[in-house]
Amino acid sequence: MQQSALPKGFNLNLIHTWRLVNQPQDYTAQLKSRYGELVSMRYRDSALVVVLSPEGARQVFTGDPEGYDPFWKVGFTGVAGPGSLWVLGGNRHRQERQLLSPAFHSQNFRGYGDIVREVARKYTQDWQPGQTLRAIDTTLAISLDVIMRLVFGVQEERLLSEGRKVLTAVYANLHPMIVFFPWLQRNWFPLWVRYDRAKAAFTKWVNRCLGERRRSSVESNGVLERMLSARYDNGAPMSDEEIRDELITILLAGHETTATALAWALYDLGSNPAELEKLRTELAPFGSDPDPEAIQKLPFLNAVCKESMRLHTLLPEVARELVSPLNLLGYNILPGNYVLVSSMAIHHDADLYPEPDKFQPDRFITRSYTPFEFLPFGGGHRRCLGAHLSDYEMRITLAEIITHWEFEPAAVEREIRHDIAMGPKNGVLLRIKEPRIGN
């Protein structure tokens, strides 16, 4: 009989859980200082093995996909539905990713850059000099419209207007309690009742989008169109329920995270005028309307986006449940236990990123990082499918804003846990100074 060999650690209690959730950067730094690359948090008959190094991340993410099951499956099933990639495992998960991956390939979004720029301009063109605003409000609105147009394939203003209300309600009513305490997903719990109503309204709106798409004779290369034409190995199409579950997953996974990354990038650039000027110099040859496809290749824009996502790690951890034994850094972790890769700890490792608490985009110019050293979208067979779209949208929107506006942070910002992700406590307060060229 195989014996489990857990790394050193301690028994998990509410204090440890609270610190891991609410103070992930400081807490994982302390864990690494005391325990090294691995630490086990034991609870009853299982353990949560926390991975704090790139080598540990590599061993987890390159492991056999069949050896893992989704983490917190029950909680996410209620929130997103049984057909969500968040909760599918084994062969079903592999088939679903194969089905959806082509729709999210970077080449699939080429040609949509003008739409992203148009949306970004729509929500920033009325800014006023002297105005102080919450950047997150603007970036959330941009991200939502981009998702509706590029993912849901909605172009008609009536559906867009309705979708803004419906999708915002889903996002606004997703409370962490109904995710992390799934036994509260009952019709007697007010937070769940509000979310369940929002989800029902979302279902009705998606059904209208599906009807419009099926009746339309206009060809589209959007994600929804590809879902409708996709076929499983047995030739069967995706059901409307499966499409809905994946669409709500895309909304919850991609809406706030992209918007938050954009808000942080504006904060970092506004706080570092020399880096902002360097980026503007790189963009200057493209004029007031930078070609969206051309700027995708700009090295410093790429470095700015990556450095901001590293400095403000939105998803501090990536977790899996073991269904097969895993040899991890010399320890044999048995099924029934969990592994948690701390992206936060890796992104703030001073050996990898000297002066890790400083915004220094040039580190991504002078060095190439492996997928186990820089992992803002997770890793392995469950890496975020929407990573290319998020990156595409972020670069175009950032270029649009800094080309047309002068701004500065109006307050010092700090990070807090919003739901499953981290975000700015005050939404990044920006003071708009004056318009720039072409505005």
Among 201, 169, 174, which Cα is nearest to 185's? Answer: 174
Give the torsion sign (CA, 307, 309, 313, 317): negative
Supply the CATH classification number for the domain 1-82+314-347: 3.30.43.20
Contacts of 13 (CB under 8 A, 6+ apart): none
pLDDT at residue 420 in the model: 77
Among 126, 52, 130, which Cα is nearest to 329's? Answer: 52
pLDDT at residue 1 in the model: 39
Q: In 284-381, which ranges are continuous DSSP H helix? A: 292-295, 299-311, 343-347, 363-366
Q: How far, in Å, CA of 414 to CA of 64, rounded?
A: 38
pLDDT at residue 223 in the model: 80
Task: Give the phi and the psi of residue 340 in degrees, each rounded to 5.
Answer: -130, 115
pTM: predicted TM-score of the whole model, two decimal places: 0.93
Q: Which residues of 283-305 are buried (b: 16+ CB within 10 A; e: fewer)?
A: beeeeeebebeebbebebbbbbb
Contacts of 422 (CB under 8 A, 6+ apart): 24, 260, 312, 313, 314, 315, 316, 415, 416
Contact 243, 284 (CB under 8 A): no
- List per-residue pLDDT tens for the chain, 439 residues long: 344 578 999 999 989 988 998 899 999 999 999 999 999 999 888 999 999 999 999 999 999 999 999 988 888 899 888 988 888 888 888 888 888 887 777 777 777 889 999 999 999 999 999 999 999 999 999 999 998 888 888 888 898 999 999 999 998 898 888 888 889 999 999 999 999 999 999 999 999 888 888 887 666 667 888 888 888 888 888 888 988 898 888 888 878 899 999 999 999 999 999 999 999 999 999 988 888 989 999 999 999 999 999 999 999 999 999 999 999 999 999 999 999 999 999 999 999 999 999 999 999 999 999 999 999 999 998 988 888 889 999 999 999 999 999 999 999 999 998 777 899 999 999 999 999 865 5
The letter for the amino acid at 48 is: L
Please identify which residue in the block is written with the tokens 């998990």: 12
- Give Cα 79 to chain centroid, integer Å: 17
Dmax over Cα atoms in the chain, in whole Å? 71
